[in-house]
Structure 1
Amino acid sequence: MSETKTSGETRAAGARLVALVGPFQSGKTSLFECLLARCGAIARQGFVRDGTSVGDSSPEARAHAMSVESNVGGVDYLGDRYVFVDCPGSVEFAHEQRQLLPVADAAIVVAEADPRKLPALQLVLRAVEDAGVPHFIFLNKIDAAAGNLRETLSFLQSVSRTPLLLRQIPIWNNGIAVGFIDLALERAYVYREHAPSEVIDIPPGETVLEKEARYSMLERLADYDDALMEELITDIEPPRDQVFDDLAKELRGGHVAPVFVGAAERGAGVTRLMKALRHEAPGIGATRARLGVADAGPALAQVIRAVHTPHGGKLSLARVLRGSFHDGQPVVGASGVEDKISGLASLIGGAATKQSVAEAGDTLAFGRLEHAAIGDILSAETHGPAPAPAKIETPAPVYALALAVKDRKDEMRLTAALAKLIDEDPSLVFVHDQQLGEMKLLGQGEMHIRVALERLASRYGVTVATHPPAVGYRETIRRAVSVRGRHKKQSGGHGQFGDVVLEVGPRGRGEGFGFVERVHGGVVPKQYYSSVEAGCRDALVHGPLGFPVVDVEAVLVDGSYHSVDSSDMAFRIAARIGMTEALGKAEPLLLEPLLAVVMRTPSDAMSRAASLVTARRGQILGFRARSGWDGWDEIEALIPEAEIGDLIIELRSATSGAGSFEAAFDHLAEVVGRQAREVVAARGAAADR
C-alpha cells in the first residue's frame, strides 16, 4: 500500500489500526463510542454508566463497570477505513495493549488534567513509546478540568519522553471550556452536544493567547525543519500546507506527540481529532517498516487477540501486514503447523460481519485457527514456518488463588476450560503443584483473577472454590542424634528382617538431604544400602511438624541382617522407622520460604511502599532510583512467602494503581515463637479434617 498526497495532505492508503489507550477511567471507552457514532458506524453514542455502550459489552465488563478486554470497532470516515481498538486502562489488563501496540499504526493516549493519575499515565506512555508507535494525546474531560492549561501541559510533559505539542487551546467561559481554537487552522470552534463543533470567529480576548500558542507550536516544529525556522526568524507566515506537512512528518517520526482537547462523553472535540488522524497518522506501510517487514513477499498477518466463542469456535483477531487472505486459505504460524481459515469477519463490539477477503492494513477475525497463538505471525506461504515475531513480554504473576473443584471428575473440564482462557489471555498462569497438592491460578491482580473465574463459570459451567495458596513451609533439625531402626515380622514361611543404626544430623541451609554409609564388617550388606537411603527419604516427606524435611544427613553406621528374612523392603522399612524417630528427637524447627522482592513505585509513594514491607515481617535491603524512569524508585527486600498474598492489592492502593513488584524464591529461614506455633497448629488442624 502506498501513500497519497493531495494539496498539502499526506494520507496513508489502506485501513489504519488505531489503539485507544490511557489510565483506568480516563474515558477511553467513551471516546471509542463517540468515534463510532461520529463516523456513522453506530446509530447513536452509548454510555458506559448506562450500560448502553458497544464497548464493554461482556457480562464481566458490565458487572464491574470497567473494560476487562479490548473492544474493536471499524469505521469509514471521508473515504478512509479505520479500526479502533479500545484497550483496558487497568494495569491488571495491560497485557491487552502490549499485544496490540506493535502492529498499530497510531495510538490515541486518553489523559486527564489530574496529577494523581500521572504514574498510571506514565506506564501507558512508556508502553507506547517503547513500541515506537506515533501517538496523539487527547486531553479528555476538558469541560470538568480545573487549573491552567499551561500547568497541565507541564505536568503531562513530566511523564512523557516525547515532546508534547499543543494543537488546540480551550475557549473558557466562566471557568468552563465551551470550545477551542485550532492552532494549525487558526480557527475557533464552539462545542455542540454530540455533534461536530461549530466554526466561529476567534473571540477578541483570545487573539493574543492564540498567537503565542501558535508561535510556540511552530517553534517546536522548526526544530526539525530548517526552512520553517528561517521563515519564523524572518517573520514570514508559513503556508498552511507546509505546517500540516510538518505536523504529519514530526508525528510519524516520533518527534512530537500532538495534544488535542475535548470531552468524549459529550462528543466535544472529536471531529478535529478524526481529521488529524486522517491527514497525519501513518498507515500499514510505515508499520511494516517499523517491524522490519519487507513490502513484497507472501501474505503475512499478526494475531493480536483470541476469543473462544460458544458456537463459532475460536476467532483470531489479526492485522494483515502484507498481501491478502481469503476464506478457506491455508496458513501457517511460527510452529509450521498448517491451519485453514474458516471465515473472515470485521468486528464492532460483539457483532461480527462476514468479509470475503482481508487486505493489507485490515484488522479482521480469522475463524478456527486452532494453532494460532497471540503474537504469532501467519503466513500464506505454507512450505515451512512463518517468520518468528518479536517476543511480547508477558508480565510475571503477582497474585494467586488456589482452586478446588467439588467433584474430582470436574478437574479435566477445569483444565480444558482454563487452557482456552489462557489462550485468550497469556498473562494468566495455571499451575498444578504436585508437592503441595494444589491447583493454582495466577495473574495480574485480584480483579484479573476474579474476571477469569467468572468467565470460567459463565462460559464453561465450571464453578470452583478458592482459597489462598498454601505456603511451601519446610522443617529441619537443630542437633544430631543416633537411633536404631528395626523391622522384624514373622508370619509363616520367609519373614522380614531389617536392622539399621543411623546417625542423623543437620546440614547447612540449602544443602538438601545427604546419605553416607560407614558400615564396617559387612553387618549390612552393600546390596541394601540403596534401600536404607530410600527409607530415610520416605521419612522426609512429612516430618514431626507435618512438613517436608530438608537439609539433614543420615549416616548408616551399624545394623544387622538375616540371611533368609532380610530384603530390600525390610531394610527400607527399618530405615524409615529409624529416621522418623530421629527427626522427632533432633529438635525439629520450622522453616519458611523468603522471597527476594523488587518493588517499583513512584518516588512520592516510596515511604508508603516501604511501610508495606516492614508490616509484613519483611527486611528492606536497599533503595535505588529506577533506571530510565524519572520520578520512580525501586525497593529491594526479603518478604516471607506467607505475607505476599495480597501485597499487590495494598501496593497499588498506595501508589494510585501504578506500583508493581517481582518476586522469586531466595532462601528458607527459621520461624520461631507464636508464628511457628500458629503454623504448626493450623497444619495439625488441616490434617485432622
Structure 2
Amino acid sequence: MKTYQGSEIRNVAVTGHAHSGKTTLISALLHAAKMTPAQGRVHDGTAVTAYDEEEVARATTMQNAVAFAEWQGVKINFVDTPGFHMFCHEARAALLPVESSVVIVNAQNGVEAVTERVWRYAEEANVPRIVVINQMDHPKAGGGGGLSALIEDLHERWGRTCTPVQLPIVDANGFQGVVDLITMEAFYYTPNGDGRGKITGEIPANLAHQAKEAHEALVELVAEGKDELMEEFFAQGTIPEQHLITALHEAIREDRIFPVLFCSGETNVATDHLLDFLKVYAPAPIERAPIAVRTPAMAAASNGNGGGTATDAPELPTTTRAVADSEPPALVVFKTMSDPFAGRISFFKVVSGTVKNDAAFENYTRRGQEKFSHLSIMQGRKAVEVSELHAGDIGAIGKLKDTLTGDTLGVKGSDILVDLYPVPEPAMTYAIEPKSRADEDKLAPAIHKLMEEDLLIRFYRDPQTNEFLIAGAGQPHIEAIVSRLKKRYHAEVTLKSPKVPYLETIRARGEAHGRHKKQSGGHGQFGDCKIRMEPQPRGAGFEFASEVFGGAIPRQFIPAIEKGVVEAAARGHLAGFPVVDFKAIVYDGSYHDVDSNEMSFKTAGRLAFKKAMEVCKPALLEPVMKVEIEAPDEFAGAIMGDLSGRRGRPQGMTSKGKTTVVNAEVPMAEMLTYGTQLTSMTQGKGSYRMEMDHYDFVPQLVAEKILANAKRPVDEEEE
C-alpha cells in the first residue's frame, strides 16, 4: 500500500437524507476506482460500507463506516453516514475527521429534512460542502418541477453560491452523462458499466446554449470573490481555465461556493467525474485551519504547579495544532468498532506528525501507554495494513488496551486534547429483561461493548424497580441494540414497554407528627419528631433544615430524621415515584434517654413524611420533551393538529424552502409511538428529534388514569 502525504489525501463525509443513495454511491465510486472487482449492492449485503448485520437486515445505515479509493495519485477517504433522523449524531461526528462534506440530494425528492440538518452541521463545523444530485437514473428525477425547480430550491435554501458546475445529459434513454461547465466538455457513459466514461468534443445541441449561460454564471460567481479575478474577467470577458480551476478550489475551501454535481450511484454514471472533482477541488487536510485543541501543559504552566492532567479537561486553555508532519505526532479516536473476532478497532484521525507502525503512544486522556501494532486503513470492515500515516490521514488500529472514542493519543510531553462534537441525550428508555440466568451474565459485558461503539446508548439498573433499563435515540435504535445483543453476543433479552419517569411533588405546605415506639423487653425503640413540608420551585430538588431548640431532639439524631425522609421520598407516596422539589423542616419532638437511637428517629422521619404527604396536596409530575419536527410544507397542518391531540404546546414554526420546522413542548408519555405516526402522516418524509426539557404537573384526568394502574407504595414501618 502506497504511503500518501497530507497534500495527496482527501477526507470526505458522505451525508444526506435516508435512502438518497449514499452507501450505493460510495460502492460505485470504489468500483470506478477499481478498488472492488464488482459494484457492491445494499440489497444483497455486498456494499462495502454496509457490513453491520443490522444495517444489512434493515437496509439502513445506522453507524459511520470508512472506505478509501486510490485515484490518480490521491487517496480519497470516504466516511459513510446515516441519513435516518434518529442517527444524525453519527453524521455530525463524521465531520470531525474530514475536510469536506458531500451532501447527497435525492433527485426525485429534492432537499429533505435530514439534508437540511446535515447541511447545518457542516456549516457549524466550518466544513466545505459539495452537493451531489444522486439517482439521476430515476424516471422521476427532478421531481414535479424538473431540475430547474430543484436548483431554484437549492438557491432558496442555501443561497445563489450553491451553483451547478455540471449539467446532466438526459435523453429518451435516461441519464447518459454530464457536461463539465469548467472545461466545457461532455462526458458520456454506458449505464451499469464500471463508471469510467469517454470525453467527447461536442456538447449536445439542446444543451449548448444552457451550458454557455451556466458557464458564464459560474465564471462570474468565482470572480466575485477576488479583485484580481474581477479585473481579469472584465478585461477578457472570462477567466482562463487554469485560473478558474485554482480560484474555484479556493472558493470551495473558503465556503464561498457550494458546487452542484450530478450522478447515478445505482447505474454508476458520472462517478469517475465525481472522483476527478474531489481530487482537484476538495480541500486537502494540510489546507484546513489548525485544529482547536486543549493543552494540559499550558494549564500547568499558568498555575505554576508543574502538573495538569487530562482530568482537568473543562478548565484547560484552548490553542491550535497545525495539521502538519512537522508537528509532534498526535491523533484523536473518533469511532470504535467492536468486532466479535478482531476485538475492539479504533478509528482515528492523525491530527499532526506521522504515525508509524509499532510506535508507542501515550493516551493523553486516560494516562495509559498504547502500542500500535498492525497499523491499518479500513475498507469497510476489511483492514489494509500500512507502514505509516501522515498528518491529516484516517487510520485504524486494533486491540488497544484502554483507548475509547474521544481519546487523544500522541508522544509523551506534547499533550493535547481534541474534543468530539457533543452527543445528544437519549430520548427514550425501555426496560429489558434477560431470558435466562446465562443471558443475564452475558448482558452487561455485551452492552458495554456496544456502548463503546455508540456513545448515545445508556444502560443502568433502576433503583426503584431493580429493572435493567436501556436508553437510546428511539424505538428503532433500541430494537437494533437488542438484535445485536442476540446475533453478536448471544445474549437474549425481552424488551418491555418504555417507562415514563414520572415524579411526585407537593403543592401545599403541611405539618405532621411521626412517632415510633416499640417495647419488647429490655431496651426498646423510641423516636418522636414533628416536621413541616413546603413546596419548592421546579428543579430545586430536596432541602432539609432543623429548627429544633432547647434540646427537644438531641443533635446527633437530626441526620437520622433527614435520612428517613429521604428514603421515604425515594419510595414515593401516590404511585411509587420519587418525591422531589420540597423542603422538610424538623421543628420539634421528644426522645427517651435509653430507648432512643438513630434507627428509631429514622423510622419516625419516615412516618412523619408519609403523614405530611397526606395534607400537602401531593401531585404527579411528568417529563416534557422539547420536540423539533421537520416535514414538507403540505403536512404542517396535520402535524399541528396531531400535536394538539398529544397535549403539545407549539413554540413556533419556521419555513426553510419547502420544509416546515415545528418546535413544540410535548409530554414524553405522548411521544412514545410518535415515530410511527409521523411516518404515516407524512408518507415517510417527516423526521423529528426530541430531548428532555423540564417536568410539569400532570393534568388531573390523566393523573387519575396513571394512578389507577399504579401500585401505591406500602411502608413496612406502618404497623
What amino acid sits opposite 1:301 in the alignment?
L
Structure 1 contact 111–138 (Cα < 8 Å) conserved: yes
Alignment of 1:296-315 (within 5 A): 296-315=326-345
Counterpart of 1:87 in structure 2 is 81
After superposition, the C-alpha distances for 1:490-513 in whole angstroms (9 at most, x for unaligned) are 23xx14142647466664565746
- 2:468 pairs with 1:439: yes
Q: Distance in 1 between matches of 2:135 and 2:618?
A: 60
Q: Distance in 1 between matches of 2:454 and 2:208?
A: 51
Q: Distance in 1 between matches of 2:514 and 2:16?
A: 69
Change (3 A) 1:27 1:477: closer
1:92 Cα offset (Å): 2.1
Structure 1 contact 316–365 (Cα < 8 Å) conserved: yes
Counterpart of 1:256 in structure 2 is 257
Match of 2:149 among 151, 155, 165: 151
Q: CA RMSD in A?
A: 3.5
Counterpart of 1:185 in structure 2 is 183
- 2:479 pairs with 1:450: yes
Q: Distance in 1 between matches of 2:219 and 2:56?
A: 45
Q: Distance in 2 between matches of 1:685 and 1:529?
A: 28
Q: Distance in 2 between matches of 1:629 and 1:202?
A: 32
Alignment of 1:369-380 (within 5 A): 369-379=400-410
1:401 Cα offset (Å): 1.7
Change (3 A) 1:15 1:610: same
Unpaired stretches in structure 2, ≥5 consecutive residues: 293-319, 715-719
Structure 1 contact 401–442 (Cα < 8 Å) conserved: yes
Change (3 A) 1:26 1:16: same
Q: Distance in 1 between matches of 2:6 and 2:100?
A: 12
1:137 Cα offset (Å): 1.6
After superposition, the C-alpha distances for 1:620-643 in whole angstroms (9 at most, x for unaligned) are 4x42659x9997656353x43433
Structure 1 contact 332–378 (Cα < 8 Å) conserved: yes
- 2:229 pairs with 1:199: no
Structure 2 contact 252–258 (Cα < 8 Å) conserved: yes
1:36 Cα offset (Å): 0.8
**Stretch of structure 1 that moved more, 51-60 or 506-515:** 506-515
Q: Distance in 2 between matches of 1:482 and 1:135?
A: 66
Structure 2 contact 631–686 (Cα < 8 Å) conserved: no
Structure 1 contact 592–671 (Cα < 8 Å) conserved: no
Q: Distance in 1 between matches of 2:408 and 2:593?
A: 69
Alignment of 1:221-232 (within 5 A): 221-232=222-233
- 2:502 pairs with 1:472: yes
Q: Distance in 2 between matches of 1:290 and 1:562?
A: 69
Change (3 A) 1:567 1:224: closer
Counterpart of 2:706 in structure 1 is 679
What amino acid sits opposite 2:85 in the alignment?
V
Structure 1 contact 21–124 (Cα < 8 Å) conserved: yes
1:115 Cα offset (Å): 4.8
Q: Give 1 or 2 for the bigger CA radius of gyration.
A: 1
After superposition, the C-alpha distances for 1:442-486 in whole angstroms (9 at most, x for unaligned) are 222322222222222222222222221242332548685665735
Secondary structure (helix, strand or coil) at the match of 1:101 reads: coil
Counterpart of 1:166 in structure 2 is 164
Counterpart of 2:451 in structure 1 is 422
Change (3 A) 1:578 1:401: closer
- 2:121 pairs with 1:127: yes
Structure 1 contact 105–282 (Cα < 8 Å) conserved: yes
After superposition, the C-alpha distances for 1:282-304 in whole angstroms (9 at most, x for unaligned) are 22211364664333221223323
- 2:60 pairs with 1:49: no
**Stretch of structure 1 that moved more, 82-91 or 472-481:** 472-481
Structure 2 contact 547–586 (Cα < 8 Å) conserved: yes
Change (3 A) 1:400 1:246: same
Change (3 A) 1:16 1:558: closer
1:251 Cα offset (Å): 1.8
Change (3 A) 1:430 1:544: closer
How many percent of aligned residue pairs carry the same amino acid?
25
Q: TM-score of the superposition, structure 2-length normalised?
A: 0.83
**Stretch of structure 1 that moved more, 342-351 or 656-665:** 656-665
Alignment of 1:124-523 (within 5 A): 124-144=118-138, 145-146=141-142, 147-160=145-158, 163-174=161-172, 176-193=174-191, 194-195=193-194, 196-200=196-200, 201-234=202-235, 236-287=237-288, 289=290, 292-294=320-322, 295=324, 296-335=326-365, 336-379=367-410, 381-383=411-413, 385=415, 387-406=416-435, 413-435=442-464, 437-467=466-496, 468-474=498-504, 476=506, 480=510, 485-491=515-521, 494-498=522-526, 500=528, 502=530, 507=535, 512=542
Q: Distance in 2 between matches of 1:682 and 1:49?
A: 45
Structure 2 contact 188–198 (Cα < 8 Å) conserved: yes
Unpaired stretches in structure 1, ≥5 consecutive residues: 5-10
Q: Distance in 1 between matches of 2:599 and 2:392?
A: 70
Change (3 A) 1:394 1:540: closer
1:178 Cα offset (Å): 2.7
Structure 1 contact 475–545 (Cα < 8 Å) conserved: no
Q: Distance in 2 between matches of 1:565 and 1:576?
A: 18
Structure 1 contact 118–159 (Cα < 8 Å) conserved: no
Alignment of 1:538-687 (within 5 A): 538-542=567-571, 545-547=574-576, 548-549=578-579, 551=582, 553=584, 557=588, 563-574=593-604, 576-577=606-607, 580=610, 583=613, 586=615, 589-595=618-624, 597=626, 599=628, 601=630, 604=633, 607-620=637-650, 622-623=651-652, 633=661, 635-637=663-665, 639-647=666-674, 650=677, 656-667=685-696, 669=697, 671-673=699-701, 675-684=702-711
**Stretch of structure 1 that moved more, 107-116 or 202-211:** 107-116
Counterpart of 1:16 in structure 2 is 10
Secondary structure (helix, strand or coil) at the match of 2:244 reads: helix
After superposition, the C-alpha distances for 1:217-268 in whole angstroms (9 at most, x for unaligned) are 1111121244543454455454322222222222222211221112111011
What amino acid sits opposite 1:297 in the alignment?
E
Secondary structure (helix, strand or coil) at the match of 2:225 reads: coil
Structure 2 contact 553–588 (Cα < 8 Å) conserved: no
Q: Distance in 2 between matches of 1:524 and 1:378?
A: 58
Counterpart of 1:7 in structure 2 is none
What amino acid sits opposite 1:168 in the alignment?
Q
What amino acid sits opposite 1:643 in the alignment?
E
Structure 2 contact 574–712 (Cα < 8 Å) conserved: no
Structure 2 contact 27–39 (Cα < 8 Å) conserved: yes
Alignment of 1:25-40 (within 5 A): 25-40=19-34
Secondary structure (helix, strand or coil) at the match of 1:102 reads: coil
Structure 1 contact 475–543 (Cα < 8 Å) conserved: no
1:318 Cα offset (Å): 1.8
What amino acid sits opposite 2:66 in the alignment?
V
**Stretch of structure 1 that moved more, 326-335 or 370-379:** 370-379
Secondary structure (helix, strand or coil) at the match of 2:17 reads: coil
Q: Distance in 2 between matches of 1:186 and 1:118?
A: 31
Q: Distance in 1 between matches of 2:429 and 2:573?
A: 29
1:487 Cα offset (Å): 2.0
Q: Distance in 2 between matches of 1:662 and 1:215?
A: 47
Change (3 A) 1:372 1:121: same
Change (3 A) 1:606 1:370: farther
Q: Distance in 2 between matches of 1:151 and 1:183?
A: 19
Q: Distance in 2 between matches of 1:534 and 1:230?
A: 80
